[in-house]
Amino acid sequence: MYLRVNPEVKKALENNQPVVALESTIISHGMPYPQNVETALNVEKIIRENGAVPATIGIIDGVCVAGMTPEEIEEFGKRKGIAKVSRRDLPVIVSKKQWGATTVATTMIVAAMAGIKVFVTGGIGGVHREAQKTFDISADLQELAHTNVAVVCAGAKAILDLPLTLEYLETFGVPVLGYETKELPSFYSIHSGLELDYKMDSPKEIADAIKAKWEMNLQGGVIVANPIPEEYAMKEEEINAVIEEALQDAKAQGIHGKDTTPFLLAAVKEKTAGKSLDSNIQLVYNNARLGAKIAVEYCK
């Protein structure tokens, strides 16, 4: 009643074949049309090329859909006023039979309902800067503490307080595995200066760690931090200066809560003349390649 699983996705899950979940906020709130639809379909294509079945997740007329059709993705990209849905919003959007775009947290919830173990996104939410005063912490982090889905990302979004985000994840026992890196990537750039405990050198190593975690009944997700490819990365100094400026704008305009991230990403895009959007797209493609390979290994 609340969940509709695409027949291709359902068949793959029943036959222990690799499936990779994808979010829909990136389509409705992350990019302009038609670039959003084009990117979403390309990500699905990359996942297929690397041996897995893509399952883009969204809420359509109050039903959680695991595996949207290309037509539904197109509609998602065009439709105005789709709600951005996190855990707290989910029961309301579903009961009111509305359309909703799933954040990292909600995509994890629906993926877990459907039995999908690997999820690919751009960057996770986290502890916002000045959270000591505002208490603004993304629901993504609590979801990672409780829901058994592995999330492949380019670290947390660079607009956040990365040291505090890492600290929070450690407190709640969420492993952060660096793919071929000992440093937490910071979304648009490769470096953050923050050391990770674990560097993993292959998709198999990552799949083994995920499997061990859940077989030991250690509840909660795993973060696979996959740095953006060097040729698409932005220089830390450059992007940090832009982010500082965007944060000042947000403060001046009284932007807070769930509006903060879309506002900051749009401001950064504008201030970098679209360069940040290109980086964003490339890092998602890069995560899709790795996510599919991890899903393939996990199913073995």
Measured CA to CA, the distance from residue 24 to residue 47 in angstroms comes to: 16
Closest to 269 in 3D by CA, of 286, 245, 237, 236: 245
**Backbone phi, psi, residue 53, to 5°:** -100, 125
Positive or negative, the Cα torsion across 9, 208, 145, 29?
A: negative
Residue 157: active-site member: yes
Annotated catalytic residue, options 10, 23, 44, 293: 23
Residue 215: active-site member: no
C-alpha distances (whole Å) from 29 to each of 79, 214, 263 are 11, 32, 10
Contact assessment for residue 113 and residue 149, using Cβ atoms and an 8 Å cutoff: no
Measured CA to CA, the distance from residue 282 to residue 117 in angstroms comes to: 23
Give CA 52 to chain center in angstroms: 18
- Supply the DSSP symbol for 142: H
Annotated catalytic residue, options 157, 258, 269, 293: 157
- Tokens 């039979």 correspond to 97
- Supply the DSSP symbol for 248: H
Amino acid sitting at position 119 = F
Catalytic residues: 23, 157
